Amino acid sequence: MEKVNDSQNNKQTKDNLPNVLVIGPPINITVLKPKHPQKYNLSKPWNAYNSPPLDHFMVENKYDPTMFQALICCAYSPINAIVLQFIPCLKLVVTSSTGTDHIDLSVCKCRGIQVANIGSLYSEDVADMAVALLIDVQIKISAADRFVRTTMRFDFPYCSNSKLGGKRVGIVGLGNVGMQVAKRLEAFGCIILYLSRKKKPFVTYTFYSNMLELAATSDALILCCPLNEQTRHMVNKEVMLALGNKGVIVNVARGPLINEDELVNCLIEGQIGGAGLDVFENEPNVPQQLLAMDNVVLSPHNAAFTTETYMATTQLVEHNLEAFFSNKPLITPIKLD
């Protein structure tokens, strides 16, 4: 954990600017600060993955914990009850992520803290990544590239490559990302199935309410749903066995949607065909056993990190802050219920 001494920033503090606490390493903060240096006093306790001693930071930098009404965080920042108790006057949490599973929403609700995410800003990029991971696993682009680079030969054993067109793809969670994935895969000639709590009246794709049934019918599963207690480990060994030994799993949502130990075992045993993973159960740790597998594509949770979306995220985080400090409705509020 790299601890950042904030005293230098503190010296530049202007009393008339709102104080904003920045928790974790939000991708947007480096862009936000230089572009609009004098809109907020940004205080950064740390910039690593670990949870910090927030109370120590306050004392060391001689901060009054009540000075912070707003904080910015990202998917890697656990905004749990312990963190929240050190910021007694907090009224706003803005996360630079789509998911809010890292935020204790029930504490926020109790204390009247508003929460904003980045809405559907990442949907297209994440859908692009999902499709790319699926094609890559099906026709082994990363593995073949690795083969050419290391052997300088052309005789890559592509015998298990499988055509995308005609494949039945089960999309788990037909929200913004899921819809964008479906739109793209239709153009490749895939047949779209989906799992959702309720049937969507506006689509013609085949609806499933049961994960096992979806897996048994699908050639590939693409996970695009939020992580919560109902969805944690929804893809377990039983689901993978139903998907079958040619089935492919793509996860662009959250690692713990899959029981990762069981995934690793199913891959080792050849009980599923392959996996394209942008997220993992214990990031940034990737199971060692996956590193030598050619039927797996490993992506370091960077689906949404294109230059264009990075800039748009920065703007949206800032617009939410502006709305909050102007007593206007948030641009992309999370409904707390």
Report the catalytic residues.
Answer: 254, 283, 301
Strands 220-223 and 206-208, how do they pair? Answer: unpaired
CB of 288 to its own copies, least distance (A): 8
Can you tell me the distance from the alpha carbon of 70 to that of 41, in angstroms, rounded to the nearest whole number? 11
Q: Where are the beta strands (DSSP E) in the chain?
A: 19-22, 41-43, 70-73, 92-95, 114-116, 168-172, 191-195, 206-208, 220-223, 248-251, 274-277, 296-298
CB of 184 to its own copies, least distance (A): 5
Closest CA to 122 of 171, 70, 79, 175: 175
Residues that bind its own copies (CB under 8 A): 124-125, 128-129, 131-133, 135-136, 138-139, 141-142, 144-149, 152-156, 158-166, 183-184, 186-189, 283-286, 291, 297-303, 305-309
The residue assigned the tokens 């809109």 is 39
Q: Which is nearer to its own copies, 208 or 280 (CB)?
A: 280
Q: Which of 274, 251, 101 is nearest to 173 (CA)?
A: 251
Q: Is residue 170 within 8 Å of residue 195, measured between CB atoms?
A: yes
Question: Taking the complex as a whole, how short is the minimal distance between the CB of residue 145 and its own copies, in angstroms?
Answer: 4
CB-wise, 138 or 218, nearer to its own copies? 138
User: What order do you get walking across the sheet with 114-116 strand by strand?
Assistant: 41-43, 19-22, 70-73, 92-95, 114-116
Asked if the bond preceding 25 is cis, omega within 30° of 0, the reply is no
- Among residues 35 and 163, whose Cβ is nearest to its own copies? 163
Minimal distance, residue 195 CB to its own copies, in Å:
22
Structure tokens at 63: 């901060």
CB of 171 to its own copies, least distance (A): 15
How many other C-beta atoms can be found within 10 angstroms of the C-beta atom of residue 206? 14
Angle in degrees, CA 127, 133, 138, rounded to 5: 130
In the complex with its own copies, the residue whose CB is nearer, 107 or 144, is 144
